[in-house]
Amino acid sequence: MNPVLIADVLRFTWPGADAPCIDIDQLEVQAGETVFLHGPSGCGKSTLLSLLAGVLVADSGRVVLLGQDWAAQSAAARDRRRVAHVGYIFQQFNLLPYLSVIDNVLLPCRFSAQRHAQASREGTPRAQAEALLSQMGLDAALWRRPAMTLSVGQQQRVAAARALIGQPELVIADEPTSALDEDRREAFLDVLLSACRTHRSALVFVSHDQRIASRFSRQVLLPGINRAARSEAS
């Protein structure tokens, strides 16, 4: 089966920097595979996630999502394709602050017919949004509040529900458990990993927290600048 995601001889240098931030030989992620991506602070993990999701485009090499190279698409086409196929939990969540919690979760379904159709398979998108928020342990009393009135840990869980709605083929998570206590962290991982395995979504999950690494099917270490990403057996 074709991988969901392929990154091939990928190189990216930030404007003004004198050395590449990302220089990796190859990374492939299959459907249903869950990857724990780790490495020292500043080694380029968030940058790599942006390249995998087509937010940034590499200087050389390629990133192929579901058979299509991000670099071959216009910025507008990349935006459309991202919302259709990628659920992204950003480090800063990127929730719309004045929009309610539930409407934030429903956003991908508003912008993508595919996400809307997939979220409607067993009911309505709203019902799936509510189910995800419940699984994430967010009390129904919070669902209609503006997202900005929630705590950081609550917003992290809203961002995760938004990433999972409509079963995207790729889920990307940038340190999504940093503000959660141990119980919440385990519950969060239960929901995220089980949703990805059930729907065969590929997951790339960045974290510094080695305690949770064994819960993933594979670990990838992203070493410092100018080094290839090294796959490790888990």
* Residue 20 found at the interface with ligand ATP (CB under 6 A): no
Rank residues 52 and 119 by Cβ distance to ligand ATP and give the closer one.
52
SS3 assignment, position 14: coil
Minimum gap (Å) between residue 147 Cβ and ligand ATP: 22
User: Which residues are within 8 A (CB) of 182 and not within 5 positions of it... i.e. 6 or more apart?
Assistant: none
Minimum gap (Å) between residue 74 Cβ and ligand ATP: 21
Rank residues 56 and 129 by Cβ distance to ligand ATP and give the closer one.
56
C-beta atoms surrounding 214 within 10 Å? 9
User: Which residues are within 8 A (CB) of 125 and not within 5 positions of it... i.e. 6 or more apart?
Assistant: 106, 109, 116, 119, 165, 166
Minimum gap (Å) between residue 225 Cβ and ligand ATP: 8
Q: Which of residues 36-65 bind ligand ATP (CB under 6 A)?
A: 39, 41-47
Rank residues 45 and 185 by Cβ distance to ligand ATP and give the closer one.
45
| Residues in the chain, overall count | 234
| Residue 14, CA distances (Å) to 51, 56, 57, 108, 221 in order | 12, 10, 11, 29, 21
Please identify which residue in 2, 9, 14, 77 interacts with ligand ATP, judged by CB under 6 A: 14
DSSP 204: E
Minimum gap (Å) between residue 9 Cβ and ligand ATP: 19
Q: Which residues bind ligand ATP (CB under 6 A)?
A: 14, 21, 39, 41-47
